[in-house]
Amino acid sequence: RLRFDLVLNNLVAWAFTTGKVFIKSDGTPWRPIVHIEDISRAFIAVLEAPREKVHNVAFNVGRNEDNYRIRELADIVKETVPNCVIEYAKDAGPDKRCYRVDCSKILEVLPDFKPQWDARKGAKELYEAYQKVGLTLDEFEGPKYKRIAHIQKLLGEGRLDKNLRWQVPVSTTAS
């Protein structure tokens, strides 16, 4: 399921639906960007690796150069989505959620693992997908593709319990 609460997905969707790359911070925070296809490649690489190299080992998936400042991502989106402008929120300030990920270990332990995606390529794919489906501002701002909003909706409908477990309706017909 596509998520609009992930930074690159969000910025491209803003640009596509409004013509503005809308930034809520001052643009200085760092974010790691990784494509689901590269995550899948990493899973395959781990499954194919000798057990002694990967057993009980945690890996950050991606490349170190795929850590971007939000403003760098905004520039990439501006280059990708025609006729859009970058706009900072009026109260934009530093975001405390600033992080970079060190992906050195996966590249050292699994030298055959080679990520294929970067933010530029991902932004282009997102833009083309939004064009293809005709993404609207209402869809973008709705809860369907925002994880927390979607979970809150499912909780409110009683489809998830407080432990986030699916609630399956019990059949009332006798067999």
Express each pLDDT in 126-175 by its tens digit. 999 999 999 999 988 887 777 777 788 888 889 889 888 999 764 555 54
Residues in the chain: 175
78 within a domain of the structure (yes/no) = yes
55 within a domain of the structure (yes/no) = yes
96 or 120, higher pLDDT: 120
Average pLDDT, the chain: 91
**Out of 52-56, 62-66, 77-81, 170-174, which region has the weakest mean confidence (pLDDT)?**
170-174
Q: Parallel, antiparallel, or unpaired for β 30-32 and 67-69?
A: antiparallel
The pLDDT value given to residue 93:
78
The pLDDT value given to residue 34:
97
* Rounded average pLDDT over 36-47: 97
168 within a domain of the structure (yes/no) = no
Are 77 and 120 a contacting pair, CB within 8 Å?
no
Provide the CATH number for the domain around residue 30.
3.40.50.720
Rounded Cα distance between 148 and 138, Å, is 17
* Rounded average pLDDT over 109-113: 95
The count of structural domains within the chain is 1
Percent of the chain with pLDDT over 70: 95
* Rounded average pLDDT over 35-50: 97
Structural domain containing residue 41: 7-134
Residue with tokens 């590269």: 38
172 within a domain of the structure (yes/no) = no
The pLDDT value given to residue 61:
98
163 within a domain of the structure (yes/no) = no
Rounded Cα distance between 35 and 117, Å, is 6
150 within a domain of the structure (yes/no) = no
One-character DSSP codes across 89-151: EEEEE--S-------HHHHHH-TT------HHHHHHHHHHHHHHHT--HHHHHSSTT-HHHHH
The pLDDT value given to residue 68:
98
Residue 9: name the closest of 101, 144, 145, 132 by CA: 145
pLDDT band at 104 (very low <50, low <70, confident <90, very high): very high
